[in-house]
Amino acid sequence: MSGDGGPAPEARPQPASAVSPQQPQQPQKPPGDAKSGTGQATASASPSQEAAAPASPGSPQAAAPQGLLAGKVVVIDPGHNVGNFQHGAEIDKQVDIGTNRKECDTTGTTTNSGYKEADFTLDVSRRLRTALEARGVKVVLTHQADRPFGPCIDERARIGNEAKADAVVSVHADGTAAGNRGFHVILPAKVKGGAADTSAIVGPSRELGERIAGNFTRTTGSAPANYLGGGTGLVVRDDLGGLNLSTRPKVFIECGNMRDANDAALLMDPQWRQKAAQGIANGIIGFLGG
């Protein structure tokens, strides 16, 4: 979940032509943020055969997109960290997100059977990296569970800023009530306060989010969320430090609801996770002009 350390506010639905949604349920305020659950994980699943393969050197059709994307930088932010639940005092410390202060990080949610969001986000992020690198993109991960906890949300934003990323995507899964299904992409609201000023990234972040949403539903077959976003698959939020502090085009994607049995079955399936990674990659590639 992308609570950034707190419960999600009522989403403000935004229109998006990039998605062909299912008939949505009436939007509603999500229940409390389940990111306060525990989370420790290992990314043990290996990429499926659907993983994007590097282009053949002799293929002129594949060489052109690689050239177009050469020099492009994408930062991938696997939500939470497998060790966060062991470092409650550290991740509870407040950090400045410009408009207010929030927890350094949260632990993330789990499925009812115990599959951790931190497992999911790191696995999908690694698959996403492979797909993008196959197209010539330079990829930076904010972490690989190679640190005891975190990074804090302000550091996650700073990593993207300092990399001068052409796009930043934070990978998550939601933790709301059973029956709430589907994915949604979170876009930055226009905020200004302290170190936060999203005025320059609101437009390009929306384009990035629309492209990811459209490609995600086409590649995975998953519908936009039926519980927020008005069926568009897009939600604008002004309370996420990872978005507020970003100076680069950035979105969060909640790939499904870990607390719904049907969504959870998809999220735990390595083949579906490969499709999810490819859908996100396709959206990023389109945004980058590849």
* Active site members: 254
Cα–Cα distance measured from residue 119 to residue 78, given in angstroms and rounded to the nearest whole number: 9
Beta strands in the chain (DSSP E): 12-13, 73-78, 94-96, 101-103, 138-141, 167-174, 184-188, 192-193, 196-197, 234-237, 250-257
Q: What single-letter amino acid sits at 261? A: A
Contacts of 41 (CB under 8 A, 6+ apart): 82, 116, 117, 118, 119, 120, 122, 145
Q: Are β-strands 138-141 and 12-13 bridged in parallel, bridged antiparallel, or unpaired?
A: unpaired
Residue 286 class from Cβ within 10 Å (0-12 exposed, 13-18 middle, 19+ buried)?
middle
